[in-house]
Structure 1
Amino acid sequence: MTSPDRAPAELRRGAIGFVDALVIGLASTSPAYSLAAVMGAVVALVGVYAPGVFLASFLPMLLIASAFYYLNRADQDCGTTFSWVTRAMGPWFGWLGGWAISMTGVLVIGSLAEVGVRFGLLSLQLDGIADTTWAVRTLSVLLILAMTAVCVIGTEVSARFQNVLIIAQVVALLAFAAVALVKGLGGDAVEGGGLSPSWSWLNPFGAGGAALTGGLLLGVFIYWGWESAVNLTEETQDSASAPGRAGVVSTVVLLVTYLAVAYAVLVYSGTDYLEANAEEAEDLFVLLARDVLGGWDWVLLLAISTSAIASTQTTILPASRTGLSMARRHALPPGLARIHPRFRTPDVSTWTVAGIASAWYVVVNLISENALFDSITALSLLIAFYYSLTGIACAVFHRDRLTRSVRDALLIGVGPLVGAGLLIWLLVESIGDLSDPANSDSGVAWFGLGPPLVIGIGIFALGIVVMLCWRVRDRRFWTEQRTTADRLEADVAAGRSGASVVDPAP
């Protein structure tokens, strides 16, 4: 009989299905909050060509989603990028990829929780509490703890919770878009609005190169997070294909949603209104909600709240699963590999992520609110880094198969490499942009650079220090050898590997 003190070796297999994985992928991107956060800024950069920027930003996401699909077909490991990059490119790159995924969660979880709390209070017309800093921050930490508890209790509970939240926010977004479109076309728009929609708005190059670069940096942010579905691969039915398909489909659903809302907002408000209120970030949608929906503005406010709450929970999932995967491969302390004996979830890793994220949120807020926003801006560096690593790893890991057909060469090799190349270009552009202190929320210089770049460099530097220290402590992970999908499949067939491998063809 198994001792109650000993956790089972595996996560709960088949806990969720394809639809659940799709919902989690969508919820992780926080579509309502993401649109609210970047819509004004993108319009300020490119005007009516904002839909074109959202369309162009979709391309690298789709190509990287393809990489996730084919890599997951070969190796169903909840560590995703960490595991795949380790197999394809070696332990050093793999460890850094895993670190980047975990740190994105740490940087953004507190901010998401705060948005969820504040907009929830606004939707309940509790504006006084929403404007009370200590109350919002206290409730935000409590929300992080509550969402962490949901993650620990079980993946099935998490999925059911997300199903409710995603329906609420998508329905609210579409209702808002429909009313805004009708009012805009019917002459009941704000001054400067009432634009006639045009196919030309889908042209991402309409505003010029420099504006496009800035817009794409923001555009990538609103798609980030869909891969959370793949982090649950070990807990998903048909784990070889369903999580990867969920990731690909979620990017397409997001594209349609973003284009619909962008067109509706532009038709109703025009560009002048959006540009004038661009610095209000998500508060822009507070203004729009009241203009468009009148007494029903709480519907959109609640959608943004549920969007952020849902993303708070689903952002914990990939960070905790990555920690679990790294720990069981001896790349992090073994305690993080513990799986709860009853709930079959990585409870130690999950609570660790929540604890670090809460501490980061509180400490950075004590420095200044702008410092918190700067830490979120640093996300673009980490996102571009681990997404591009994944794209490269896909081509390297499947290199034996790229000559078998034109289709394999394009979908498994060329596509992911192009996606990685685009993200590397954006990473370089982002570094140049963030080096200027004037482009930060605080507007001050840290060591002569913009705070977001300093935070990003600091996180990478800290990761390297932790990696080197752990390598001195336990060298086992660094003995892993690079391999290919074909060799890994042969090893599994011969009983030499614990990974699950199937043919990557759909």
Structure 2
Amino acid sequence: MSETLQQPAPAAAAGSGGSPQLAHGALKGADSIVMAVAGSAPGYSISATTAVLVGAAVLGGPAALLWCGIPMLGIALAFSHLGRSDVNAGAAYSWVRKALHPGLGFISGWAVVASATIFMVSGAVPAGQATLSLFNENRQWSTGAVTAVGAIWFLIMAAIVAAGVTITTKAQWIMSAVEVAILAVVGLVALFHEAGRHGAAFSWSWFSPTQFHGMSGFAGAALIAAFYYWGWDVTANLNEESKHSKLAARGGIIGVVIVFALFELYTIDINLFFSQDAIAKGSTSLPTMLGAAVGGSATGKLMIIAVMLSTIATLETTLIQVSRSLFAMGRDNTLPKIFGKVHATRRTPVVATAAVTLVSLALFVAAAFQSSVQTVMTDSVNAIGMQIAVYYSLASLAVTVVYRKKVLTSLSNALFIGVLPLLGSAFMIFTFVENLFGDSLSAGTKEIGLGGLALGLIPMVYYMVKKVPYYSRRERLASEDELLPQGAAEAAA
């Protein structure tokens, strides 16, 4: 069996049979940064996840975000290098296959599909909650009403994603700019606003790993913190549609830094302003409560708008991520080939988008019968955390394998393609294993997390037996300098 060296190719040349491909070059460098921030969705994450994080870490939320943020930066570095080595809409699905093993590559891709599909519900719930709060912020809306409104927003975003990546990007610029501006101003004002505080006095111990109840407590908080950051890697799935400038390749890294600052700011603010009981009761309304405490009802309404825009934006980026992953799998025939079909003029994976939309709507129906919004959020956040830990850990390991001959050639290489990515991989493996065998997660959450991954074994085994080229043809992923002419490679080194 021959081994080939993978060379990146323009998206227009990918695939076979001359079929239309994704819109190569539609995204510029700055677009990638906006997509990374929108994917992590600071407003949504603060709204959806803070109460869950406080339940696991109490006052240690800033520590969880810090100690998860460092390895997450290593993972972002890994994605940046691998994205330049292999331009593929499947991202980790393709990279892990070539660097480690086809089976692990497919599981990486399937973890993206499973986590993103589950997220459609947990992402739409705060959108529904925020929308209804604009009409009556004091009313306790039923889970069914919240889910129904969230489903409407989801369908609108699905239509925009199907319309094309250029329209999607323009919508993201508007939504993310307004969201980040509101969050930054309100968050900074709250940090220095003394009146109305009913929480704990600030302490640097909030950033200490000693805040957690043993390794199990730390792992549970880290799983939730990983969910905060998750989504920036949509930039990798947009590889085939991006102009590959250095800024575009580093969009995920810059995005992680921006959302880290916002997450820490708001976790500190919420610790300062609210008691543990108030946080638990506030649930997804915490940003609104913070805004009202700082500037009254008008500021509270502004925070509702920020959360709503953030949630809508991240629904859109998650739809992009899962549809591009399914597209890459269909193109390789590791899933039915029809998923690799692209609209002739809009150049979007229409079948993949439609399939995710239908499955998500079925999940919306199931979620509407849950006892509370908080139950939906807690179960889905933790289940998704388990799934993203799988593909983040494998992709981070892959970059060190690909660049193993370069790791020890300089101090910067040792740090940026060795230590930090390996730290990210080890951190995610630890988080997954500790939560799987620990008692911090409910049995139902583990069933959702593992069950979603296990479903992927069915198509994996089926297409392995069929010996599709993805599994039967060996390809090696080249490091960046191997893809350059000799002179350019020496200059880059």
Shared fold by TM > 0.5?
A: yes
Deviation at 1:200, TM superposition (A): 4.6
Given residue 269 of structure 2, which amino acid in structure 1 is its aligned partner?
Answer: A
> Structure 2 counterpart of 1:80, which letter?
A
Distance, in Å, in 1 between the alignment partners of 2:394 and 2:242 is 24
The whole-number CA distance in structure 1 between the counterparts of 2:199 and 2:152 is: 42
Shift of 1:27: 0.8
| Amino acid in the other structure paired with 1:431 | L
TM-score by length of 1: 0.85
Shift of 1:225: 0.8
CA distance in structure 1 between the partners assigned to 2:182 and 2:289 by the alignment: 16
Tell me, in whole angstroms, the C-alpha distance in 1 between the residues paired with 2:109 and 2:36: 19
Structure 2 partner of 1:291: 293
Q: Confirm whether residue 328 of structure 1 aligns to residue 331 of structure 2.
A: yes
The match for 1:235 among 216, 235, 241 is 241
Structure 2 residue 152 is the aligned partner of structure 1 residue 142: yes
Change (3 A) 1:143 1:47: closer
| Distance in 1, Cα, partners of 2:143 & 2:18 | 41
Q: Number of residues paired by the alignment?
A: 471
Aligned residue type for 2:302: V
Q: Are the counterparts in 1 of residues 61 and 267 from structure 2 also a CA contact under 8 Å?
A: yes
SS in structure 1 at match of 2:250:
helix
CA displacement at 1:124 relative to structure 2: 3.7
* 2:491 counterpart of 1:480: no
- Aligned equivalent of 1:267: 272
Shift, 1:67, TM fit: 0.5
Residue 259 of structure 1 aligns with an amino acid whose one-letter code is E
CA RMSD of aligned residues (A): 2.8
After TM superposition, the structure 1 = structure 2 runs for residues 70-469 of structure 1, keeping only pairs within 5 Å, are: 70-125=81-136, 131-184=141-194, 188-192=195-199, 195=201, 197-207=202-212, 209-210=214-215, 211-238=217-244, 241-269=246-274, 273-278=275-280, 280-296=282-298, 297-366=300-369, 369=372, 370=375, 373-433=378-438, 439-440=441-442, 450-469=443-462
Paired with 1:281 and 1:96, the residues of 2 have a C-alpha distance of 33
Provide structure 2 residue ranges, at least 5 long, that are not aligned to the other structure.
1-16
Q: 8 Å contact 1:320–1:349 — kept in the other structure?
A: yes
Check if 1:22 corresponds to 2:33.
yes
AA at the equivalent of 1:147: M
How far does the alpha carbon of each residue in 1:356-410 deviate from its partner, in whole angstroms, 9 at most, with x for none? 2222222344465546742442111101000001011111122233343343233
Identity of aligned residues (%): 29
Moved more, 202-211 or 248-257: 202-211
Q: Which residue of 1 aligns with 2:8?
A: none
8 A contact 1:278–1:284 mirrored in 2 = no
Answer yes or no: is the 8 Å Cα contact 1:31–1:307 preserved in 2. Answer: yes
Unaligned residue ranges in structure 1 (runs of 5+): 1-5, 441-449, 494-500
Native 8 Å contact 1:338 1:346 kept in 2: yes
Distance 2:383 2:360 in 1: 15
Displacement of 1:155: 0.9
1:471 aligns with 2:470: no
Deviation at 1:355, TM superposition (A): 1.7
List, as ranges, runs of 4+ consecutive aligned residues in structure 1 with deviation greater than 6 Å: 501-504
Conserved 8 A contact 1:41-1:275: no
**Contact residue 34 and residue 222 of structure 1 kept, 8 A:** yes
Change (3 A) 1:505 1:251: farther
Structure 1 residue 50, shift from structure 2 partner: 2.8
Q: TM-score, normalised by structure 2?
A: 0.87
AA aligned opposite 1:325: A
Q: In structure 1, what residue type is equivalent to 2:294?
A: V
Q: Is the 8 A contact 2:116 2:318 kept in 1?
A: yes
Q: Which residue of 1 aligns with 2:49?
A: 38
One-letter amino acid matched to 2:227: F
SS at 1:277 equivalent: helix
Q: Which amino acid in structure 2 is aligned with residue 454 of structure 1?
A: E
C-alpha distance in 2, partners of 1:12/1:476? 25
Alpha-carbon spacing, 1:473–1:340, altered in 2? closer, same or farther (3 Å): same
Q: Tell me, what secondary structure is at the counterpart of 1:327?
A: helix
